Each structure stands twice: as structure tokens, then as C-alpha cells.
Amino acid sequence: MDPSQRIEYLYKEYARLSEKLEEYLKGCFEDFKLFGGASATILLWKPIADVIALASPKVDNRELLFLGFLTLLVILVLIGSMILNRMAYMFLMGNNLQSYEYEIRKELHEDEQSQVFRLNIEKDTAKFATAFRMTYGTALIILSLAITFIPFTILSYTNIFHAVIYLLLALLAVVNHIRVVKKLAGLYSHQFKFF
């Protein structure tokens, strides 16, 4: 393959992969809307459970409230897992794009200091890590507090045993999510730490 064909092929594949990565990034933002909807349901679940208990007197309001919050927790864990899967794929795509950038720079005879085709420059990688840690970490803390302590507080007024069980399960889910994010980030970055 002559050099002009090779550079054209590399660039087309680079552009295709960049477009795919952008689609996945947009999808991540859509997934956050799911988090928002499910989180809003946490605030509304107590009134919904009260209405259901009034409509059907045989239903124990405390059990319904507890099961509803557990169901919402499972839904939020599934959405979080979906986001982690997308994140893993995006990190993989970014890593793959880096190899195309290297090959394109080589074909263009760019030196190592050149900024041409450098999506993931080391100094910018550290900036990205800091920005990622701040934004994702802040969102995760706020969401974790809401997911954990709003239902815990509501359940504490109805049944302390249910409240403690819910608190332990929610904390387990949050800790597990953070652990997976750390491992995922570690797979693709040895120069810095996300958390």
C-alpha cells in the first residue's frame, strides 16, 4: 500500500472510530436522564405507596414502601452498570484512537512534540483525569447520598429494621460502583489515578 493510500485509510478509520466514540458519549448523557427519572421516583415513592395502601387496605404500607425502595435501588444499580459498560467501551475506543493517532503522525512525519492528531496527550490526560474525578465524583456523591439517605430516612420513620437493611444494601451498591470505576480507570491509565 502506498503512503497516500495508507494515510487515507488510517484517517477514514480514525474518523469512523471518533464518530462512534461521540455517539457513545451522547448515549452516556442520555443514561444520566434515566438516573434522574429513577431518582425523582425515590422522592415520590412514599406518597405513591400511601395511595396504594389506601386503595387496598390489605397491603401493608411499610412492606410496600420497603419493597418499592429496594426495586428502585435495583433499577439504579442496573442503570449504573449500563453506564459503566458504556464507560469501559469509551475508554477502549479512546485507547484505540490513540494508536491511530500515532500511526497518522508517523505517516505525516510529525515529530513527538507536534500537536497534530493527539487526542490523548499526556499532559491533557492528567487534566482529563482531574476533570473526570471532579465531575463524575461529585455527581456520584450527590446521587449516592440521595439514593442512600432519602429512602433510609423515610424508612426509619416506618420500620427501623427495613431502614438498616436498605442502608446496608445501598452502601454496598455505592462502594461496588466506585470499586469498578477505579478498576476500569486503572485498566486504561497507568500515569494517573481517577480516585
CA distance 137 to 141: 6
Lowest pLDDT segment from 28-32, 145-149, 186-190: 186-190
Cβ atoms of 119 and 101 within 8 Å: the answer is: yes
Q: How far is CA 148 from CA 24, 56, 83, 89, 114, in A?
A: 28, 28, 19, 28, 48
pTM: 0.73
**Beta strand segments in the chain, E:** none
Closest CA to 93 of 13, 5, 12: 13
Q: Is the dihedral of CA 81, 85, 88, 94 positive or negative?
A: negative
What pLDDT, on a 0 to 100 scale, did the predictor assign at position 194? 44
Cβ atoms of 154 and 46 within 8 Å: the answer is: yes
- The conformation of residue 57, written as its DSSP 8-state character, comes to T
Phi-psi region of 117 (alpha: psi -120 to 50; beta: other; left: phi over 0): left
* Tens digits of residue pLDDT in 99-146: 888 888 888 877 776 667 666 555 556 676 677 778 878 888 888 888
What pLDDT, on a 0 to 100 scale, did the predictor assign at position 192? 40
